[in-house]
Structure 1
Amino acid sequence: MKNNRILSTALCIGICMLFAYAGSLFTPVAGSWYYTTLVKPPWNPPDWLFPPVWTLLFVLMGVALSLVLEAGIDKKEVKQAILLFGLQLFLNLGWSASFFGMRSPLAGFVEILILWLFIVMTIVTFSKVSKPAAFCLVPYLLWVSFASFLNFVILRLNS
């Protein structure tokens, strides 16, 4: 049973890391001409901080997904939680595509607001299935809240 739990958790983390990788395909490497030309606030985090933070957040997402799945895939609330979780993963990917791929802080801002709402809905739904799973998503919500404000400021500074 313990081996199944470890395997399930690893698989869930792997799925989330695939989304992280897909999002990174839109995200510039440090020094990208587009990103470096944007006016950013002085409190913008250094470029080196983003990869480890996002890696940790995607690992926590995978752990959260695994905890929800443990409650039983046949349960209605688990199915609903998984659906919302999947939608927020795609929205997360959409932010990278909007902000970096389309080179549009405006599209990125609209996208991240929708993402933020889906993260909140996912946390609420996860909490009905597994409180620890919901708790695992709180750092993600906090980071996306910060990123939303940062995106807004970048939009304003570059309009």
Structure 2
Amino acid sequence: MGPILISGGIAALLGLIGGLMTPIDEWYRDLRKPSWQPPNWAFGPAWTIILGLAAWSAVVAWSAASDNFARRTVILLFASNAVFHLLWSPLFFRLRRPDWALGEVVFLWASLVALVGGLWPISHLASLLIVPYLLWVSFAAYLNLSIVLLNSPFR
């Protein structure tokens, strides 16, 4: 029960902080965005599902870890991802620097590639549960790039 509560709590905290760091204000509404951007209301449910799958992945990986080294690997991979996950929204929305967020999303994306690859030897299921997160961040990175190209320079 402990891993479920911990991973679920961390996922909820990441979602809450991400939501608080993502004001949909006049600045954001005035940005030029590509026509294919999803509606604003879609992002909350998408992140809820993605973070829920990540929490499930963490529980599966923790349970499948055969020794302390594997458990430390699980913690390190998820902790690194959490740091990069938390950095993107403040850069884009609070500092109003989509260009900086575009640089940061590379690290977020790399942390997900590391999660998929690092979890695979521990649990194939745990690894596969991260794939939707990786796909969503890939899409979000392309959206971020499009917004930068449509609106730069930023200051």
- Bucket of the pairwise TM-score, normalised by the shorter protein: over 0.9
The alignment partner of 2:120 has SS state of helix
The alignment partner of 1:68 has SS state of helix
Deviations 1:54-101 (A, max 9, x none): 000010010001111113484213312220211111101100111111
Q: Identity of counterpart residues, as a percentage?
A: 36
Q: Distance in 1 between matches of 2:86 and 2:65?
A: 27
Q: Distance in 2 between matches of 1:34 and 1:26?
A: 14
Of 14, 23, 28, which residue of structure 1 is paired with 2:23?
A: 28
Alignment of 1:92-107 (within 5 A): 92-107=85-100
Partner of 1:42: 35
Of 45, 54, 69, which residue of structure 2 is paired with 1:52?
A: 45
Partner of 1:154: 147
Contact between 1:78 and 1:129, CA under 8 Å: does it hold in 2? no
**Shift in Å at residue 8 of structure 1?**
3.0
TM-score between both structures, scaled by the size of structure 2: 0.92
Structure 2: where are the runs of 5+ without partners?
none
Residue 75 of structure 1 aligns with an amino acid whose one-letter code is: N
Q: Distance in 2 between matches of 1:53 and 1:155?
A: 22
Tell whether 2:22 aligns with 1:13.
Answer: no
Q: Distance in 2 between matches of 1:23 and 1:73?
A: 33
Structure 1: where are the runs of 5+ without partners?
none
Contact between 1:16 and 1:62, CA under 8 Å: does it hold in 2? yes
Alignment of 1:77-96 (within 5 A): 77-96=70-89
Q: Distance in 2 between matches of 1:24 and 1:37?
A: 20
Contact between 1:77 and 1:128, CA under 8 Å: does it hold in 2? no
The alignment partner of 2:121 has SS state of helix
The alignment partner of 1:129 has SS state of coil
| RMSD, aligned CA | 1.4
Contact between 1:73 and 1:79, CA under 8 Å: does it hold in 2? no
**Shift in Å at residue 13 of structure 1?**
1.6
Q: Distance in 2 between matches of 1:86 and 1:11?
A: 12
Q: How many residues align?
A: 152
Partner of 2:122: 129
Contact between 2:60 and 2:123, CA under 8 Å: does it hold in 1? yes
